[in-house]
Structure 1
Amino acid sequence: MDIPSIKNEDQYEALREKGYSKQKAARIANTPDAGKKGGKAKPYEKWTKTALYKQAKNVGIKGRSRMDKSELIYSLRNN
């Protein structure tokens, strides 16, 4: 799997130092607003399936169109 260009190098390097794979660190570092803090986001269980799908698309999760809500949540938390 090719690594896309990294939009947030500092975040990417910090994630790699924590042991994240190159692919997962790149997906997170390339997600818009991924590095912003605040803790105000609702838990995934309170998101709509459409919002979960869009987030899965943003982070590059494959097979998302065939997933139900619980599968999207699992994939977002574990990929």
Structure 2
Amino acid sequence: MSRDHGPSIKDDETYEALREDGASRQKAAAIANAQANPDMHPSKTGGAHPPYEEWTKDDLLTRARELDVKGRSKMTKGALIKALRA
């Protein structure tokens, strides 16, 4: 049985599952609330970009620059992918 997380969390069960998987409170709440809202379809809107493995190194560097990843200019493609996922 899932715990009641108050009125700000619309789907307690999904929230708890995401938290157990390591999602932050904010991310878990956003996903749980989006899935509970019939007007939103998070599973349909996600995954619009190909996986990082299919990106060029230049594209990965651009994204790392947007996210202000430290040491990005010296990273290999694999290191960039790992840093972007972290």
Q: TM-score range by the shorter chain?
A: 0.5 to 0.7
Structure 2 counterpart of 1:17: 26
Moved over 4 A (4+): none
Instruction: For structure 2, list consecutive stretches of 5 or more residues without a partner in the other structure.
Output: 1-23, 29-44
Instruction: Provide the rounded CA distance (Å) in 1 between the counterparts of 2:74 and 2:83.
Output: 12
C-alpha RMSD of the superposition: 1.9
For residues 32-72 of structure 1, the C-alpha deviation after alignment (integer angstroms, 9 at most, x for no partner) is xxxxx442200000000000000000001010000000000
Instruction: For structure 1, list consecutive stretches of 5 or more residues without a partner in the other structure.
Output: 1-14, 20-36
Alignment of 1:54 onto 2:62: yes
What is the percentage of aligned positions where both structures have the same residue?
47
Give the paired residue count.
47
TM-score under structure 2 normalisation?
A: 0.49
For the pair shown, which has the larger CA radius of gyration, 1 or 2? 2
Query: Residue 68 of structure 1: which of 46, 68, 76 is its match?
Result: 76
Give the alignment of 1:26-45 within 5 angstroms. Answer: 37-45=45-53
After superposition, the Cα gap between the structure-2 partners of 1:72 and 1:40, relative to the gap in structure 1 and judged at 3 Å, is: same
Structure 1 counterpart of 2:41: none
